[in-house]
Amino acid sequence: MKTRLKALCASLTLVPMLAGASLAPYSPVTDARLTKPEAGNWLMYRGNYEGWGYSPLKQITNQNVGKLVPAWSYTTGMTEGHQAPPIVNNGYMYVSTPNNQVIALEAATGKELWRYKKTIPDELMQLHPTNRGVALYGDKLYLATTDAFLVALDAATGKELWKVPVADWKKGYYMTLAPLAAKGKIMVGSSGGELGIRGFIAAFDADSGKEAWRTYTIAGPGEAGSETWPGETYKTGGGSVWITGTYDSQTNIAYWGVGNAGPWMPDTRPGDNLYANSTIALDVDTGKIKGHHQYHWNDAWDWDEVSAPLLIDLEHKGKKFKSLVHAGRNGYLWLLERTQDKVNYVDAWPYVTQNVFTSLDPKTGRPTYDPKRIPGTGKKTDFCPSLWGGKDWPPEAYNPQTGLLYIPANNNLCSELTGEPVKYKAGSLYIGVSLDNILTNVRMTEKSRQHIGEVQAWDLKTGKKVWTHTYPEMNWGPLMTTAGNLVFGGGTNDRMFRALDAKSGKVLWETPTPSGVTGVPSSFEVDGEQYVAVQSGWGVDAQRMQGAFDAVLDHKTVVPQGGTILVYKLQK
């Protein structure tokens, strides 16, 4: 009886509701639209292929943002980390949440159109219970699930069209990212580096779901870079792909961030460990690796470089080039050059306190380490920035009007780790550091007791920081910037969502939300009216970092959980 009831409930969650009559027919999402998205829509994870997190809309400005008021809100019914952006296509809004759920709504009113939820196996351990968004392509919507499936839905009705297994969740594979759609392919990447997986990026035919190619992020026998992994360590080498790639439509190359190697202690896998902690460039037609840059080799600090680099044509210190820009978890801001056949190092400098790198090779950017700052098995080591990094997964943003890059940073914070022996068991943690150590790893400094969280603005042309806005404790807030001279973001444990002046960093507007904001903001337009949307819903690593703070501070902070979609507009 219990089994039949569970199956019935699961099937009911797949039944779509009919779309509202007030909406125009659904507009298919083409390659042309994704390459040059309309200002009034937010068609993908960061608004454009280049990863800018920038809205060209400017009805809401630094002059009137103080008049921003709620337009509508919607409770998702889920707890844990609500990190996905509201995706909008001509009045249709799509929001993904933890537990493999997608909700479709009228973007202007919040009326539910349909809801989809894929059942997660009871035995699956959700190490990161979140989902970072959906992809739109043609008349379909694509969801990468926690249990490692790629699902295609009819975007207008929510009907499940197909689902294909991407990997075996029983072996530790799962997915948290929004898929990347381009040239008839839907690309996804695997997470699970903490569970001894071998990471990969795979592409599937947008119509049929048939796999087109699979490229491993951990080099194996017969592949370039295999010599950087001793013995069979590549089989459990990690290299998670947590965040959606960026894409150069002119060269047909996608750029992906790759996470840290596994297990954590570097003495268990001597070598550079390619392509962990790297940006890799993939030919979208074939999956062939066209180039890479490794930000740090033989990682010891859990500094997985998960964010895909931003694609910006810029001038830096008198040189014009097509760049890749990445605010690294290792605490350095990196400028790279993208070409058809390789990735070149240009420049890098620390944007937060960093005491591990003693120098960078001026030609390659390869760092040299202070040996006293390298953790190992049976060795206690402290280092800065903390294992949460100068910036974790929350994405930075770029505004072409101001020419500034905005970084959600955590500064002045350090960690202490002690490695311990670990044996691999499929589907189990394979880290080499105790959970107690991870949950109490932060070490406060005199400066961190003054402030930790920051929003930084950098002039990439000069390499100079223009302004910094600080928060007392952590910042887990993805950023969005707009043509209205604004930067939006949350990320603090006071539950606020804020708008900052893009040129000065001054807080112009803020409002409390039901939970902490770790969602990616978006902006869209319906019937000539601009809206700003974000999910409130604290959890996952933001809460884990909060727990680490609670363990060392003389006060405790409770951030309530529960997801809410929040949409704002100007008061009339």
pLDDT digits (tens, 9 = 90+) for 94-113: 999 999 999 999 999 999 99
Residue 16 has pLDDT above 90, yes or no: no
Residue 20 pLDDT level (bands cut at 50, 70, 90): very low
Residue 11 has pLDDT above 50, yes or no: no
- Give the pTM: 0.96
Residue 12 has pLDDT above 60, yes or no: no
The confidence score (pLDDT) of residue 308 equals 98
The confidence score (pLDDT) of residue 501 equals 99
* Tokens at 536, concatenated: 């409130």
Mean pLDDT, to the nearest integer, of 537-549? Answer: 97
Choice among 21-30, 79-88, 256-265, 505-514 with the minimum mean pLDDT: 21-30
Residue 19 pLDDT level (bands cut at 50, 70, 90): very low
More confident residue, 238 or 2: 238
Strands 81-82 and 130-131: parallel
Residues 330 and 305 sit within 8 Å (Cβ to Cβ) = yes
Which pLDDT tens digit goes with each residue over 476-499?
A: 999 999 999 999 999 999 999 999
Helices (runs of H) and strands (runs of E) counted in the chain: 4, 40
The confidence score (pLDDT) of residue 59 equals 98
* Mean per-residue pLDDT of the chain: 95
Mean pLDDT, to the nearest integer, of 304-310? Answer: 97
* Tokens at 275, concatenated: 């392509």
Mean pLDDT, to the nearest integer, of 242-257? Answer: 98
Residue 22 pLDDT level (bands cut at 50, 70, 90): confident
Residues 54 and 398 sit within 8 Å (Cβ to Cβ) = yes
Which residues are paired to 42 by β-bridges? Answer: 88
Mean pLDDT, to the nearest integer, of 311-331? Answer: 96
Give the rounded percent of residues in the chain with a pLDDT score beyond 90: 95
Classify residue 124 as exposed, middle or buried by CB count within 10 Å of its CB (0-12, 13-18, 19+). middle
Q: Is 527 a catalytic residue?
A: no
* Tokens at 319, concatenated: 């040189």
Exactly one of 147, 248, 272, 302 is catalytic; which is it?
302
